């Protein structure tokens, strides 16, 4: 069974190429445009990896991060924060709140795909 | 002639005159008598000669007694009264008259004495008032000077001639090379000094121009006159200088104030930002322009050939990469320039912690335990805002979660400074925290009307909740929660640069001011006739490799201070080690304590002497056993081209002039005689200080000997025995 990737971002400009790339890499792709939607997907499908934007309407990516890590059953979900916030303090906060990686936009799609595959391959399915 | 004698001469002359008049009247009367009447008279006179004689004697002695009485009770007491009343009204108001004499005179004496008493009382009252007023004025002057000295801006006050009357610590820091003279590798004569010309530190033409502008403005009756200019100062510092005229009541300018601001950082970061913004917009525009053109072309010609399509795609890819890299770079640079518009200052983490503990425990009735950690570290921020931020968090935690005991911890890693608030209980949700962040920092009506978000933003800080077990292994029972505040850490380089703190302390009366210099007459060509107390002095001492100037011994240290208006200016000193360019005799180290390695990398005498000469410019040079030090300097005349033509005084000789019966005139003995405590002897600066203190005490003693002017001091020195000791 292919790994599931959840893309949480409200900007279609980035969602479109990401979705395309992830599908091409052979993953099942879920899309959420708000924090609410994201949490619903997580409860329903428990994805293997989440590509998480920080600046979301209503609730920030940090909060989603915190909520995921509050649940022991979601401990194995990998979280990659993808954001335009590039301050060091933001990165430290993201990692402190349980993200596995912090990638600032713009990023190399090639490297992102590599990172994703490395992370999901380490998950014992 | 005595009053009494004077009187008797007068009395005898009067008597003589009286006798002559009686004789004349008698003679005239005799001539008018008939001859028979004359005969009868003659017979009567002849018959009673004895009686007549006795009457005459009695009458004249009666007159004599009356006159003597008059003299003793009126004339003499009156004359004394005049003299003594004069004493009271001129030299000795406390004098009282004691006289015996006529009743009226005694009464008069009483009246004069009573009046004198009254006068004296009101006089002493007035004097007390004057002394009090003076003390008050002095205190105000000192307060003003102390406040100016501690101001965060540099302040220099000058008279219209540009002579410096006052400056503060900050000004010295901004205008003197390296700020401190004890910098190891640079010569740093302080050319900013009381009584010196401001042209030594700020370009003459700029000052003159500023004065002209200000004078124009005064003539045009403008108010709030300020003239501003920017100069590059020493140590690559850029200064903004505001010149403000000091006006008399009649709007005549009698001086001006220079206020100095260090704008180096502001200008630098503003310039950087400009460059960043420029490069960002220009480059972004061209890259985006290329991407857009490529995409639009592809969209417009869907049927273009594969090769052409590949070309355009490559353009888009390349430009995107360029744009990404550029953004990264610019952002990094802006971060590293890191200057925010908010006034952030460095403070010790322990100070912040103590302030939070105090405020929270007082206001919120909670208990805060300060955990040992990185409290020695510096944090860059707005002290008050941070105290309120942390107290606000504590207040919210107490209110919503009922927490009353906190542990406050400061930690540091390579990049960040962490402040943690820890309490037993559940981890806070980010959602709650987000709500708190948008609230204003008000605690029971006190605080800052700013949302916490803004304060954190301006500090470049982040905040989040976490479980305490994530950071420390948890051994105690019960979960612990933590709120973590993350600050970018202060780099050591900026730490050093920003060490300076304004200090205002009335106890530390600054020495480097003298308002009396307002009345200085300026440069007087004939120093020789000036009183010693009015001259300016450079008191100096040298340490050498040995005691034989002509035998190749060299100067290894020069220390000097200045005396102006009879005051030793401790803040304006010259203290410089000198590389002697020859080995240091080990036996000499015992005297001066200077180790050979301390002289490595120090400037040579060729570099030091010009600086020292400028320091000593326009002053009389004073040294103990000056002949030796002057010889040392003279030997360097040929190689350095520096010649000291200042008049010279020697405390050793002057001491011998004042105390000729003593044979010991070394610094310790003189100091002991004059009641001076000597500290730090056998360093050039220490000895210069001792010498200067001795010299100041010698001036009044010389005056008692009638030696008041420089000329007299020089001549009397010459005469003393010690003057014959020549090196």
DSSP string, B151-202: -SSEEEEEETT-BEEEE-HHHHHHHSTTS-TT-TTS-------TTSBGGGTS
pLDDT, residue A26, reads 92
Q: Which of B229, B262, B295 is the last residue of a domain?
A: B262
Q: Determine, for residues B431 and A63 on separate chains, whether the beta-carbon distance falls below 8 Å.
A: yes
Nearest by CB to B415, from A88, A90, A96: name it: A88
pLDDT in tens, A71-86: 999 999 999 998 888 7
pLDDT, residue B582, reads 87
Nearest by CB to B464, from A87, A88, A96: name it: A96
The whole-angstrom separation of Cα A97 and Cα B576 is 57
Kindly indicate the confidence band of residue B463, based on its pLDDT and cuts at 50, 70 and 90.
Answer: very high
Q: Which of B212, B230, B262 is the last residue of a domain?
A: B262
With beta carbons under 8 A apart, name residues in chain A contacting B287. Answer: none
If asked whether residues B366 and B448 sit together in one domain, one would say yes
β-bridge pairing B620-623 and B537-544: parallel
Evaluate whether residue B683 is within a structural domain: yes
If asked whether residues B20 and B91 sit together in one domain, one would say yes
The C-alpha of B409 sits at a distance from chain A's nearest C-alpha, in angstroms, of: 17
Evaluate whether residue B18 is within a structural domain: yes
Q: Determine, for residues A66 and B461 on separate chains, whether the beta-carbon distance falls below 8 Å.
A: no
If asked whether residues B378 and B312 sit together in one domain, one would say no
Question: Going along B356-435, which residue ranges are E strands?
Answer: 367-371, 378-381, 405-412, 416-424
CB B112 within 8 Å of CB B78: no
CB B651 within 8 Å of CB B568: no
The mean pLDDT value for B318-324 works out to 87
- Interface with A, mutate which of B322, B332, B466 (most A CBs under 10 A): B466
Question: Going along B362-415, which residue ranges are E strands?
Answer: 367-371, 378-381, 405-412
Evaluate whether residue B500 is within a structural domain: no
Evaluate whether residue B515 is within a structural domain: no
Kindly indicate the confidence band of residue B513, based on its pLDDT and cuts at 50, 70 and 90.
Answer: very low
pLDDT, residue B2, reads 60
Least confident span in B216-230, B278-292, B513-527: B513-527
B88: domain range? 3-103
Reduced to 3 states (helix: H, G, I; strand: E, B; else coil), residue B424 is strand
pLDDT in tens, B120-175: 888 888 888 888 888 888 888 778 877 887 788 899 999 888 888 888 888 888 88
If asked whether residues B297 and B366 sit together in one domain, one would say no
Kindly indicate the confidence band of residue B476, based on its pLDDT and cuts at 50, 70 and 90.
Answer: low
pLDDT, residue A58, reads 77
Evaluate whether residue B185 is within a structural domain: yes
pLDDT, residue B423, reads 93
C-alpha dihedral, B306 to B307 to B310 to B311, nearest 10°? -140
The whole-angstrom separation of Cα B630 and Cα B612 is 13
If asked whether residues B233 and B308 sit together in one domain, one would say no
β-bridge pairing B480-488 and A49-52: unpaired
If asked whether residues B559 and B440 sit together in one domain, one would say no
The C-alpha of A92 sits at a distance from chain B's nearest C-alpha, in angstroms, of: 8
The C-alpha of A13 sits at a distance from chain B's nearest C-alpha, in angstroms, of: 14
The whole-angstrom separation of Cα B549 and Cα B626 is 13
With beta carbons under 8 A apart, name residues in chain B contacting A17. Answer: none
Nearest by CB to A62, from B324, B328, B430: name it: B430
Kindly indicate the confidence band of residue B190, based on its pLDDT and cuts at 50, 70 and 90.
Answer: very low
If asked whether residues B231 and B291 sit together in one domain, one would say no
A60: domain range? 4-121
pLDDT above 80 for B74: yes
For residue B655, give the CATH number of its domain.
Answer: 3.30.420.10
Least CA distance to A107: which residue of chain B?
B324
Nearest by CB to A63, from B323, B331, B430: name it: B430
Tokens 């200045």 correspond to B562
The C-alpha of A109 sits at a distance from chain B's nearest C-alpha, in angstroms, of: 11
If asked whether residues B368 and B443 sit together in one domain, one would say yes
If asked whether residues B320 and B367 sit together in one domain, one would say no
If asked whether residues B697 and B570 sit together in one domain, one would say yes
Q: Determine, for residues B488 and A60 on separate chains, whether the beta-carbon distance falls below 8 Å.
A: no
Kindly indicate the confidence band of residue B449, based on its pLDDT and cuts at 50, 70 and 90.
Answer: confident
Nearest by CB to B429, from A60, A66, A93: name it: A66
pLDDT above 80 for B515: no
Q: Determine, for residues B320 and A106 on separate chains, whether the beta-carbon distance falls below 8 Å.
A: yes
With beta carbons under 8 A apart, name residues in chain B contacting A62. Answer: 430, 464
Residue positions of B annotated with a catalytic role: 682
Residue with more model confidence, A107 or B558: B558
pLDDT above 50 for B678: yes
Least CA distance to A64: which residue of chain B?
B430
Hey, how many other C-beta atoms are within 10 angstroms of the C-beta on A72?
A: 7
If asked whether residues B530 and B617 sit together in one domain, one would say yes
Kindly indicate whether the ipTM for this predicted assembly is greater than 0.90, answering yes or no: no
pLDDT in tens, A5-52: 999 988 777 888 888 889 989 999 999 999 999 999 999 999 999 999
- Interface with A, mutate which of B317, B464, B468, B489 (most A CBs under 10 A): B464
Tokens of B532: 């010693």
pLDDT in tens, B520-557: 333 345 778 888 988 899 999 988 888 777 778 889 99
pLDDT, residue B139, reads 82
First to last CA, chain B: 64
Tokens of B379: 């944090």
CB B512 within 8 Å of CB B165: no
Q: Which of B242, B262, B282 is the last residue of a domain?
A: B262
Q: Determine, for residues A92 and B462 on separate chains, whether the beta-carbon distance falls below 8 Å.
A: yes
For residue A113, give the CATH number of its domain.
Answer: 3.40.50.2300
pLDDT, residue B383, reads 79
pLDDT, residue A47, reads 95
With beta carbons under 8 A apart, name residues in chain B contacting A87. Answer: 335, 460, 462
Domain count, chain A: 1
With beta carbons under 8 A apart, name residues in chain B contacting A86. Answer: 328, 331
Q: Determine, for residues A96 and B465 on separate chains, whether the beta-carbon distance falls below 8 Å.
A: no
pLDDT, residue B233, reads 77
Q: Determine, for residues A88 and B327 on separate chains, whether the beta-carbon distance falls below 8 Å.
A: no
Write b or e for each residue in B548-559: b if 16 or more Cβ atoms lie within 10 A of its Cβ, otherwise e. ebeeebbbbbbb
CA angle B626, B630, B634 (to 5 degrees): 170
For residue B252, give the CATH number of its domain.
Answer: 3.30.450.20
- Phi, psi (5° rounding) for residue B398? -70, -45
Handedness of CA B187, B192, B196, B202 (dihedral sign): positive
If asked whether residues B436 and B550 sit together in one domain, one would say no
Nearest by CB to A89, from B327, B331, B488: name it: B488
pLDDT, residue B102, reads 84
Distance of CA B101 to the CA centre of its chain: 63
Residue with more model confidence, B266 or B18: B18
The contact set of B with A (CB < 8 A) is: 320, 323-324, 327-328, 331, 335, 415-416, 429-431, 434, 460-462, 464-466, 470, 484, 486-488
Tokens 């860059």 correspond to B380
Helix (H) or strand (E) holding B573: strand B567-577
Query: What is the average pLDDT value for chain B, to the nearest integer?
Result: 80
Task: Please state at what angle helix B76-89 crosses helix B103-150, rounded to 10 degrees.
Answer: 10
Percent of chain B exceeding pLDDT 90 equals: 13
């Amino acid at each position: 069974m292919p790994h599931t990737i959840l893309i949480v971002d409200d900007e279609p400009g980035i969602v479109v190429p990401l979705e395309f790339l992830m599908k091409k890499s052979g993953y099942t792709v879920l899309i959420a445009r708000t924090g609410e939607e994201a949490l619903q997907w997580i409860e329903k499908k428990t994805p293997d990896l989440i590509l998480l934007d920080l600046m979301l309407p209503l609730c920030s990516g940090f909060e989603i991060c915190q909520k995921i890590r509050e649940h022991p059953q979601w401990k194995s979900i990998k979280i990659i924060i993808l954001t335009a916030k590039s301050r060091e303090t933001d990165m430290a906060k993201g990692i402190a709140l349980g993200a596995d990686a912090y990638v600032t936009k713009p990023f190399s799609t090639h490297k992102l795909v590599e990172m994703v595959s490395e992370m999901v391959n380490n998950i014992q399915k | 002639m005595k009053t009494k004698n004077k009187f008797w001469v007068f009395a005898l002359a009067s008597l003589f005159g009286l006798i002559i008049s009686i004789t004349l009247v008698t003679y005239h009367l005799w001539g008018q008598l008939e001859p028979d009447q004359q005969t009868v008279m003659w017979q009567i006179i002849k018959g009673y000669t004895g009686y007549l004689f006795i009457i005459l004697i009695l009458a004249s002695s009666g007159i004599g007694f009356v006159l003597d009485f008059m003299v003793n009770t009126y004339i003499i007491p009156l004359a004394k009264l005049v003299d003594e009343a004069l004493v009271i009204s001129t030299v000795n108001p406390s004098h009282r008259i004691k006289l015996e004499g006529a009743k009226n005179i005694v009464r008069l004496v009483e009246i004069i004495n009573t009046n004198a008493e009254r006068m004296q009382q009101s006089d002493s009252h007035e004097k007390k008032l004057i002394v009090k007023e003076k003390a008050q004025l002095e205190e105000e002057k000192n307060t003003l000077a102390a406040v100016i000295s501690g101001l965060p801006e540099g302040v220099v006050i000058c008279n219209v001639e540009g002579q410096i009357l006052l400056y503060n610590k900050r000004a010295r820091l901004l205008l003197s090379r390296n700020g401190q003279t004890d910098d190891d590798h640079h010569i740093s004569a302080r050319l900013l000094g009381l009584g010196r010309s401001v042209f030594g530190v700020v370009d003459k033409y700029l000052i003159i121009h500023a004065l002209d502008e200000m004078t124009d403005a005064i003539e045009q009756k403008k108010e709030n006159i300020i003239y501003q200019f920017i100069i590059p100062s020493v140590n690559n510092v850029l200064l903004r200088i505001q010149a403000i005229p000091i006006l008399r009541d009649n709007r005549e300018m009698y001086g001006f104030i220079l206020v100095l601001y260090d704008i180096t950082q502001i200008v630098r970061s503003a310039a950087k930002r400009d460059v960043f913004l420029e490069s960002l917009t220009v480059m972004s525009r061209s890259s985006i322009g290329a991407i857009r053109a490529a995409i639009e072309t592809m969209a417009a010609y869907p049927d273009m050939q594969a090769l052409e399509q590949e070309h355009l795609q490559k353009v888009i890819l390349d430009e995107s990469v360029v744009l990404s890299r550029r953004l990264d770079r610019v952002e990094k640079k802006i971060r590293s320039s890191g200057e925010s518009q908010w006034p952030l200052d460095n403070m010790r983490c322990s100070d912040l912690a103590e302030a939070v503990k105090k405020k929270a425990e007082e206001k919120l009735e909670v208990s805060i335990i300060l955990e040992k950690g990185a409290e020695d570290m510096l944090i860059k921020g707005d002290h008050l805002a941070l105290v309120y931020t942390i107290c606000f968090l504590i207040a919210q935690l107490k209110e919503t979660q009922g927490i009353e005991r906190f542990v406050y911890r400061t930690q540091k890693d390579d990049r960040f400074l962490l402040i943690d608030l820890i309490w037993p209980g559940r981890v806070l949700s980010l959602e709650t925290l987000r709500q708190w962040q948008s609230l204003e920092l008000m605690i029971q009506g006190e605080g800052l009307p700013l949302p916490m978000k803004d304060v954190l933003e301006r500090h470049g800080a982040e905040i989040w909740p976490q479980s305490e077990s994530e950071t420390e292994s948890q051994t105690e029972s019960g979960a612990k929660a933590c709120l973590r505040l993350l600050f970018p850490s202060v780099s050591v380089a900026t730490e050093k640069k920003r060490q300076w703190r304004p200090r205002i302390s009335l106890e530390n009366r600054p020495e480097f001011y003298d308002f009396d210099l307002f009345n200085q007459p300026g440069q007087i060509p004939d120093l020789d006739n000036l009183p010693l107390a009015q001259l300016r002095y450079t008191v100096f001492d040298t340490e050498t490799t040995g005691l034989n100037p002509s035998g190749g011994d060299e100067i290894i240290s020069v220390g000097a201070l200045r005396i102006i208006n009879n005051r030793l200016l401790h803040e304006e000193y010259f203290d410089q080690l000198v590389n002697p360019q020859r080995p240091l005799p080990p036996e000499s180290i015992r005297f001066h304590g200077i180790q050979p390695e301390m002289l490595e990398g120090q400037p040579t005498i060729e570099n030091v002497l010009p600086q020292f000469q400028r320091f000593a410019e326009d002053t009389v040079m004073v040294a103990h056993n000056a002949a030796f030090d002057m010889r040392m300097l003279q030997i360097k005349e040929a190689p350095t081209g520096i010649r000291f033509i200042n008049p010279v005084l020697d405390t050793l000789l002057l001491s011998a002039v004042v105390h000729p019966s003593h044979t010991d005139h070394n610094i310790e003995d003189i100091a002991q005689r004059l009641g001076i405590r000597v500290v730090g002897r056998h360093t050039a600066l220490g000895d210069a200080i001792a010498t200067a203190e001795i010299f100041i005490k010698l001036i009044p003693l010389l005056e008692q000997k009638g030696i008041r002017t420089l000329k007299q001091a020089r001549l009397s020195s010459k005469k003393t025995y010690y003057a014959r000791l020549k090196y």
